[in-house]
Amino acid sequence: MRTQIVAGNWKMNKNLEETEVLLSELSAKLPDTNAEVIVAPTFVNLPLAVNHLQNSVIQVAAQNMHFAESGAYTGEISADMLLNIGVETVILGHSERRAYFGEDDALLTQKVDAALAKNMRVIFCFGEELGERKSGGHFEVVENQLKNAIFHLEKEQWKNIILAYEPVWAIGTGETATPEQAQEMHAFIRKTIEEAYDEEVAAGVTILYGGSVKPGNAEEIFSKPDVDGGLIGGASLKCDDFTTIIKAI
Ligand code: PGA
Protein backbone atom coordinates (compact mmCIF):
# COMPACT_ATOMS: atom_id res chain seq x y z
CA MET A 1 0.00 0.00 0.00
CA ARG A 2 1.39 3.39 -0.98
CA THR A 3 1.67 6.19 1.57
CA GLN A 4 -1.29 8.52 1.26
CA ILE A 5 -0.58 12.17 1.92
CA VAL A 6 -2.55 15.36 2.33
CA ALA A 7 -0.21 18.35 2.19
CA GLY A 8 -1.09 21.99 2.69
CA ASN A 9 0.92 24.54 0.74
CA TRP A 10 0.35 27.81 2.56
CA LYS A 11 2.29 29.83 -0.03
CA MET A 12 2.91 33.48 1.01
CA ASN A 13 0.09 33.52 3.55
CA LYS A 14 -0.19 33.74 7.36
CA ASN A 15 1.96 35.90 9.62
CA LEU A 16 3.44 34.57 12.87
CA GLU A 17 0.29 34.92 14.94
CA GLU A 18 -1.95 33.55 12.20
CA THR A 19 0.38 30.60 11.75
CA GLU A 20 0.19 29.84 15.45
CA VAL A 21 -3.60 30.00 15.40
CA LEU A 22 -3.95 27.67 12.43
CA LEU A 23 -1.43 25.19 13.82
CA SER A 24 -3.30 25.11 17.15
CA GLU A 25 -6.62 24.57 15.40
CA LEU A 26 -5.21 21.82 13.21
CA SER A 27 -3.61 20.03 16.15
CA ALA A 28 -6.87 20.14 18.06
CA LYS A 29 -9.10 19.06 15.21
CA LEU A 30 -6.90 16.65 13.27
CA PRO A 31 -9.12 13.74 12.27
CA ASP A 32 -8.06 10.13 12.71
CA THR A 33 -6.42 9.12 9.49
CA ASN A 34 -3.90 6.69 8.06
CA ALA A 35 -2.72 9.37 5.67
CA GLU A 36 0.31 11.49 6.38
CA VAL A 37 -0.52 15.15 6.93
CA ILE A 38 2.00 17.84 5.98
CA VAL A 39 1.90 21.62 6.26
CA ALA A 40 4.22 24.00 4.43
CA PRO A 41 4.24 27.47 6.03
CA THR A 42 6.44 30.27 4.76
CA PHE A 43 10.18 30.08 5.61
CA VAL A 44 10.07 32.55 8.50
CA ASN A 45 7.42 30.51 10.28
CA LEU A 46 9.04 27.09 9.85
CA PRO A 47 10.80 27.06 13.25
CA LEU A 48 7.51 27.94 14.94
CA ALA A 49 5.72 25.16 13.07
CA VAL A 50 8.38 22.56 13.91
CA ASN A 51 8.28 23.47 17.60
CA HIS A 52 4.52 23.67 17.70
CA LEU A 53 4.10 20.26 16.05
CA GLN A 54 6.82 18.47 18.02
CA ASN A 55 4.36 16.04 19.60
CA SER A 56 2.03 15.91 16.60
CA VAL A 57 1.93 13.50 13.66
CA ILE A 58 1.68 16.52 11.35
CA GLN A 59 4.89 16.96 9.37
CA VAL A 60 6.41 20.25 8.26
CA ALA A 61 7.72 20.98 4.76
CA ALA A 62 9.45 23.96 3.16
CA GLN A 63 8.05 25.48 -0.03
CA ASN A 64 11.42 25.81 -1.78
CA MET A 65 15.19 25.69 -1.25
CA HIS A 66 18.44 26.53 -3.01
CA PHE A 67 20.70 23.84 -4.46
CA ALA A 68 23.97 25.17 -3.02
CA GLU A 69 25.20 24.17 0.43
CA SER A 70 25.95 27.75 1.45
CA GLY A 71 27.51 30.90 0.05
CA ALA A 72 26.74 34.14 -1.76
CA TYR A 73 23.11 33.55 -2.69
CA THR A 74 21.30 36.51 -1.18
CA GLY A 75 17.80 35.70 -0.07
CA GLU A 76 18.14 31.94 -0.40
CA ILE A 77 17.83 29.00 2.02
CA SER A 78 19.86 25.77 1.90
CA ALA A 79 18.98 22.16 2.64
CA ASP A 80 21.30 22.22 5.67
CA MET A 81 19.46 25.22 7.09
CA LEU A 82 16.15 23.40 6.76
CA LEU A 83 17.49 20.20 8.28
CA ASN A 84 19.08 22.19 11.08
CA ILE A 85 15.65 23.40 12.23
CA GLY A 86 14.06 19.98 11.76
CA VAL A 87 12.47 20.33 8.31
CA GLU A 88 13.09 17.19 6.25
CA THR A 89 10.65 17.64 3.38
CA VAL A 90 10.70 20.25 0.64
CA ILE A 91 8.32 21.18 -2.18
CA LEU A 92 10.21 21.70 -5.44
CA GLY A 93 9.07 22.73 -8.91
CA HIS A 94 5.80 24.34 -7.94
CA SER A 95 4.26 25.99 -10.99
CA GLU A 96 4.43 29.40 -9.29
CA ARG A 97 8.20 28.93 -8.87
CA ARG A 98 8.45 27.92 -12.50
CA ALA A 99 6.26 30.77 -13.81
CA TYR A 100 7.30 33.70 -11.59
CA PHE A 101 10.86 32.82 -10.67
CA GLY A 102 12.06 31.22 -13.86
CA GLU A 103 12.72 27.77 -12.41
CA ASP A 104 13.30 25.38 -15.28
CA ASP A 105 14.00 21.66 -15.52
CA ALA A 106 17.78 22.13 -15.35
CA LEU A 107 17.60 24.17 -12.15
CA LEU A 108 15.09 21.76 -10.65
CA THR A 109 17.44 18.86 -11.35
CA GLN A 110 20.07 20.60 -9.24
CA LYS A 111 17.60 21.28 -6.45
CA VAL A 112 16.26 17.72 -6.42
CA ASP A 113 19.78 16.32 -6.38
CA ALA A 114 20.80 18.65 -3.55
CA ALA A 115 17.78 17.70 -1.43
CA LEU A 116 18.17 13.97 -1.99
CA ALA A 117 21.91 14.14 -1.30
CA LYS A 118 20.95 15.35 2.17
CA ASN A 119 18.37 12.59 2.50
CA MET A 120 15.47 15.04 2.42
CA ARG A 121 12.10 14.09 0.95
CA VAL A 122 11.02 15.98 -2.16
CA ILE A 123 7.47 16.78 -3.17
CA PHE A 124 8.12 17.31 -6.86
CA CYS A 125 5.44 19.37 -8.65
CA PHE A 126 4.75 19.44 -12.35
CA GLY A 127 1.80 19.81 -14.72
CA GLU A 128 0.69 21.29 -18.00
CA GLU A 129 -0.67 24.74 -18.82
CA LEU A 130 -4.14 25.31 -20.24
CA GLY A 131 -2.99 25.75 -23.85
CA GLU A 132 -1.02 22.53 -23.65
CA ARG A 133 -4.07 20.62 -22.47
CA LYS A 134 -6.30 22.20 -25.12
CA SER A 135 -3.90 21.25 -27.89
CA GLY A 136 -3.65 17.70 -26.54
CA GLY A 137 0.02 18.07 -25.61
CA HIS A 138 -0.45 17.50 -21.88
CA PHE A 139 0.89 13.95 -21.74
CA GLU A 140 4.04 14.90 -23.59
CA VAL A 141 4.61 17.99 -21.42
CA VAL A 142 4.26 15.97 -18.22
CA GLU A 143 6.48 13.18 -19.51
CA ASN A 144 9.19 15.70 -20.42
CA GLN A 145 8.99 17.48 -17.07
CA LEU A 146 9.59 14.16 -15.33
CA LYS A 147 12.27 12.94 -17.75
CA ASN A 148 14.19 16.20 -17.67
CA ALA A 149 14.23 16.74 -13.92
CA ILE A 150 14.03 13.39 -12.13
CA PHE A 151 14.47 10.40 -14.42
CA HIS A 152 18.23 10.51 -13.91
CA LEU A 153 17.71 9.39 -10.31
CA GLU A 154 18.79 5.99 -9.12
CA LYS A 155 16.01 3.57 -8.29
CA GLU A 156 16.62 3.68 -4.54
CA GLN A 157 16.39 7.48 -4.52
CA TRP A 158 12.71 7.22 -5.44
CA LYS A 159 11.82 6.30 -1.87
CA ASN A 160 12.33 10.00 -1.06
CA ILE A 161 10.26 11.27 -4.00
CA ILE A 162 6.61 12.26 -3.75
CA LEU A 163 5.05 13.45 -6.99
CA ALA A 164 2.41 16.17 -7.22
CA TYR A 165 0.59 16.47 -10.52
CA GLU A 166 -0.79 19.98 -10.64
CA PRO A 167 -2.35 21.14 -13.90
CA VAL A 168 -1.50 24.86 -13.97
CA TRP A 169 -4.98 25.76 -15.20
CA ALA A 170 -6.48 24.29 -12.02
CA ILE A 171 -4.24 26.03 -9.47
CA GLY A 172 -5.96 28.77 -7.53
CA THR A 173 -8.54 29.13 -10.29
CA GLY A 174 -11.45 27.25 -8.77
CA GLU A 175 -11.28 25.07 -11.86
CA THR A 176 -10.51 21.45 -10.95
CA ALA A 177 -9.49 18.61 -13.17
CA THR A 178 -12.31 16.07 -13.17
CA PRO A 179 -11.57 12.94 -11.13
CA GLU A 180 -11.37 11.12 -14.48
CA GLN A 181 -8.80 13.59 -15.85
CA ALA A 182 -6.74 13.24 -12.67
CA GLN A 183 -6.91 9.44 -12.78
CA GLU A 184 -6.04 9.37 -16.48
CA MET A 185 -2.93 11.48 -15.94
CA HIS A 186 -1.86 9.69 -12.76
CA ALA A 187 -2.13 6.33 -14.52
CA PHE A 188 -0.08 7.74 -17.40
CA ILE A 189 2.58 8.99 -14.96
CA ARG A 190 2.77 5.58 -13.29
CA LYS A 191 3.09 3.85 -16.68
CA THR A 192 5.84 6.28 -17.72
CA ILE A 193 7.76 5.57 -14.50
CA GLU A 194 7.33 1.83 -15.00
CA GLU A 195 8.81 2.11 -18.49
CA ALA A 196 11.76 4.16 -17.25
CA TYR A 197 12.34 2.09 -14.09
CA ASP A 198 10.20 -0.88 -13.14
CA GLU A 199 6.88 -1.95 -11.64
CA GLU A 200 8.18 -1.66 -8.08
CA VAL A 201 9.12 2.03 -8.40
CA ALA A 202 5.91 2.86 -10.29
CA ALA A 203 3.64 1.10 -7.83
CA GLY A 204 5.45 2.50 -4.80
CA VAL A 205 5.55 6.20 -5.58
CA THR A 206 2.92 8.44 -4.01
CA ILE A 207 1.27 10.69 -6.61
CA LEU A 208 -0.70 13.64 -5.26
CA TYR A 209 -3.19 15.68 -7.21
CA GLY A 210 -3.16 19.46 -6.78
CA GLY A 211 -5.33 22.22 -8.18
CA SER A 212 -8.41 23.61 -6.43
CA VAL A 213 -9.00 20.58 -4.23
CA LYS A 214 -11.84 21.60 -1.92
CA PRO A 215 -13.98 19.93 0.76
CA GLY A 216 -16.66 19.38 -1.86
CA ASN A 217 -14.55 17.57 -4.46
CA ALA A 218 -11.78 15.90 -2.44
CA GLU A 219 -13.54 12.60 -1.80
CA GLU A 220 -14.26 11.92 -5.44
CA ILE A 221 -10.75 12.84 -6.56
CA PHE A 222 -9.13 10.78 -3.79
CA SER A 223 -11.33 7.79 -4.64
CA LYS A 224 -9.42 7.25 -7.89
CA PRO A 225 -6.98 4.34 -7.68
CA ASP A 226 -3.87 6.21 -8.81
CA VAL A 227 -4.54 9.37 -6.79
CA ASP A 228 -2.76 8.99 -3.45
CA GLY A 229 -3.78 12.28 -1.88
CA GLY A 230 -3.53 15.97 -2.55
CA LEU A 231 -1.40 19.09 -2.45
CA ILE A 232 -3.81 21.71 -1.23
CA GLY A 233 -3.35 25.48 -1.59
CA GLY A 234 -6.24 27.80 -0.77
CA ALA A 235 -8.30 25.24 1.13
CA SER A 236 -5.38 24.42 3.46
CA LEU A 237 -5.54 27.90 4.95
CA LYS A 238 -8.81 27.20 6.76
CA CYS A 239 -8.78 24.55 9.46
CA ASP A 240 -12.28 23.25 8.75
CA ASP A 241 -11.69 22.97 5.01
CA PHE A 242 -8.33 21.25 5.44
CA THR A 243 -9.57 18.78 8.04
CA THR A 244 -12.58 17.95 5.88
CA ILE A 245 -10.20 17.21 3.01
CA ILE A 246 -8.10 15.02 5.34
CA LYS A 247 -11.24 13.14 6.31
CA ALA A 248 -12.03 12.59 2.64
CA ILE A 249 -8.99 10.38 2.25
P1 PGA B 1 -4.93 25.51 -4.92
O2 PGA B 1 -3.33 25.41 -4.99
O3 PGA B 1 -5.41 24.36 -4.09
O4 PGA B 1 -5.20 26.85 -4.28
O5 PGA B 1 -5.43 25.46 -6.32
C6 PGA B 1 -2.71 24.16 -5.14
C7 PGA B 1 -1.23 24.36 -5.19
O8 PGA B 1 -0.77 25.37 -5.73
O9 PGA B 1 -0.46 23.52 -4.69
Q: Which atom of ligand 1 is nearest to the CA of 11?
A: 8
pLDDT band, very low/low/confident/very high, at 2 (cuts 50, 70, 90): very high
Q: Is the dihedral of CA 109, 110, 113, 114 positive or negative?
A: negative
Mean pLDDT (whole number) for 180-198? 98
Instruction: Determine if ligand 1 sits within 6 Å of the CB of residue 149.
Output: no
Mean pLDDT (whole number) for 144-173? 95
Is-contact 59 28, C-beta < 8 A? no
What is the rounded average pLDDT for all residues in the chain?
A: 97
pLDDT band, very low/low/confident/very high, at 32 (cuts 50, 70, 90): very high
Pairing state between β 229-232 and 89-92 = unpaired
Instruction: Determine if ligand 1 sits within 6 Å of the CB of residue 166.
Output: yes
Nearest-CA neighbor of 221 among 207, 241, 202? 207
Q: Which atom of ligand 1 is nearest to the CA of 95?
A: 8
What is the C-alpha end-to-end distance of the chain, expressed in Å?
14
Question: Would you say residue 171 has pLDDT above 90?
Answer: no
Is-contact 66 111, C-beta < 8 A? yes
Pairing state between β 59-62 and 5-9 = unpaired
| % residues pLDDT > 90 (the chain) | 96
Mutate to test the pocket of ligand 1, among 232, 236, 238, 241 (most ligand atoms within 8 A of CB): 232
Q: Reply yes or no on whether 143 is catalytic.
A: no
Looking at residue 81, what is its pLDDT? Answer: 98
Q: Reply yes or no on whether 138 is catalytic.
A: no
pLDDT band, very low/low/confident/very high, at 173 (cuts 50, 70, 90): confident
Instruction: Determine if ligand 1 sits within 6 Å of the CB of residue 232.
Output: yes
Question: Would you say residue 1 has pLDDT above 80?
Answer: no
Instruction: Determine if ligand 1 sits within 6 Å of the CB of residue 230.
Output: no
Is-contact 49 22, C-beta < 8 A? no
Mean pLDDT (whole number) for 206-231? 97
Distance separating alpha carbons of residues 83 and 47, to the nearest angstrom? 11
Mean pLDDT (whole number) for 24-36? 96
CA of 51 to the centre of ligand 1 (A): 25
Instruction: Determine if ligand 1 sits within 6 Å of the CB of residue 172.
Output: yes
DSSP summary character for residue 23: H
Instruction: Determine if ligand 1 sits within 6 Å of the CB of residue 210.
Output: yes
Is-contact 118 80, C-beta < 8 A? yes
| Catalytic residue (one of 66, 94, 138, 186) | 94
User: How far is CA 114 from its chain centroid?
Assistant: 17
CA of 209 to the centre of ligand 1 (A): 10
Question: Would you say residue 172 has pLDDT above 90?
Answer: no
Looking at residue 82, what is its pLDDT? Answer: 98
